[in-house]
Amino acid sequence: MGRKTYYVTTPIYYANAEPHIGTACTTIIADVMARYKKLCGYEVFYLTGSDEHGQKILRIAAEAGVEPKAFVDGVVAKIKQTWQDLNIQYDYFVRTTDEQHKKAVQALYRKIAEKGDIYKAKYSGWYCTPCERYISLTESPDKTCPVCKRPTEFLEEDNYFFKLSNYQAKMLEFLKAHKDFIVPESRYNEVYSRVEMSIEDISISRASFSWGIPLPDDAEHVVWVWLDALTTYISALGYPDNKDNFNKYWPADVHFMAKDILWFHSVIWPCFLMSAGLEPPRQICAHGWWTVNGEKISKSKGNMILPRDVIAKFGVDSLRYFELREMVLGHDQDFTYKALMSRHNNELGNDLGNLVLRTLVMIGKYYEGKIPQPYENDFSDEPIRKMLASLQEPILSHIEHFQFSNALEKIWEIVRAANKYIDDQKPWVLAKEKSPKLSSVLYNLAEEIRIISVYLTPFMPTACDSIRFQLGLSSEKVTLPESLEFGQTEVGTRTFIDKPLFPKIEEEKTAG
Ligand code: MSP
Q: Whose CA is nearest to atom 2 of ligand 1?
A: 13
**Does the Cβ of 297 fall within 6 Å of ligand 1?**
yes
CA 20 / ligand 1 centre spacing (Å): 10
The candidate with the shortest Cα–Cα distance to 255, out of 5, 7, 79, 14, is 7
* The pLDDT value given to residue 512: 46
Nearest Cα to 241, choosing from 103, 109, 115, 93? 103
> Does 421 contact ligand 1 (Cβ within 6 A)?
no
Tell me the three state secondary structure of residue 215.
Answer: strand
Q: Spell out the residues 6+ positions from residue 477 whose beta carbon is closer than 8 angstroms to its own.
A: none
Least confident of 266-270, 302-306, 379-383: 379-383
- Do 82 and 308 contact (CB within 8 A), yes or no? yes
CA–CA separation, 191 vs 196, rounded Å?
A: 8
pLDDT at site 146? 85
pLDDT tens-digit series, residues 29-48: 999 999 999 999 999 999 99
Say how far apart CA 416 and CA 351 lie, in whole Å. 7
Top mutation candidate among 10, 13, 272, 284 for ligand 1, by most atoms within 8 Å of CB = 13
The answer to whether residue 406 scores a pLDDT higher than 50 is: yes
In 3-64, DSSP assigns E strands to 5-14, 43-51
Side-by-side strand order, sheet with 43-51: 92-95, 43-51, 5-14, 254-258, 284-287, 182-183
pLDDT tens-place string over residues 159-188: 999 999 999 999 999 999 999 999 999 999
In this prediction, residue 135 carries a pLDDT of 86
Round to the nearest angstrom and report the end-to-end CA distance of the chain: 54
Residue with the smallest CA separation from ligand 1 atom 13 is 13
Q: How far is the CA of 313 from the centre of ligand 1 (A)?
A: 25
23 pocket-lining for ligand 1 (C-beta < 6 Å) = yes
DSSP character at residue 30? H
pTM: 0.96
Q: Where in the chain is the domain with CATH 3.40.50.620?
A: 5-314
Fold of 337-508: Isoleucyl-tRNA Synthetase; Domain 1 (1.10.730)
| Burial of residue 429, with CB atoms counted within 10 A of its CB: 0-12 exposed, 13-18 middle, 19 or more buried | exposed
φ/ψ (deg, to 5) at 13: -85, 145
- What whole-number percentage of the chain has pLDDT above 70? 98
Residue spans in the chain of domains classed CATH 1.10.730.10 = 337-508
d(CA 437, CA 375): 6
Class in CATH terms, 5-314: alpha beta
Q: Distance from the CA of 94 to the center of ligand 1, in angstroms?
A: 16
Q: 10 C-alpha vs ligand 1 centroid, how far in Å? A: 9
Q: 13: Cβ below 6 Å to ligand 1?
A: yes
Indicate if the pLDDT at residue 13 is higher than 50: yes
CA distance 188 to 192: 6
Find the 13 Cα to ligand 1 centroid distance in Å.
Answer: 6
Best of 18, 51, 261 for a ligand 1 pocket test (most atoms within 8 Å of beta carbon): 261
What is the position in ligand 1's atom list of the atom closest to the CA of 259? Answer: 17
Å from CA of 91 to ligand 1 middle = 20
Please tell me the distance from the alpha carbon of residue 360 to that of residue 376, in angstroms, as a whole number: 22
Is the beta carbon of 229 within 6 A of some atom in ligand 1? Answer: yes
Read out DSSP for 476-494?
PPP-TTGGGSTT-SPTTPB
Q: How far is CA 371 from CA 107, 257, 311, 421, in A?
A: 60, 44, 34, 18
Residue 177 phi, psi (nearest 5): -80, -15
Say if ligand 1 is within 6 A of residue 25 CB: yes
pLDDT band at 10 (very low <50, low <70, confident <90, very high): very high
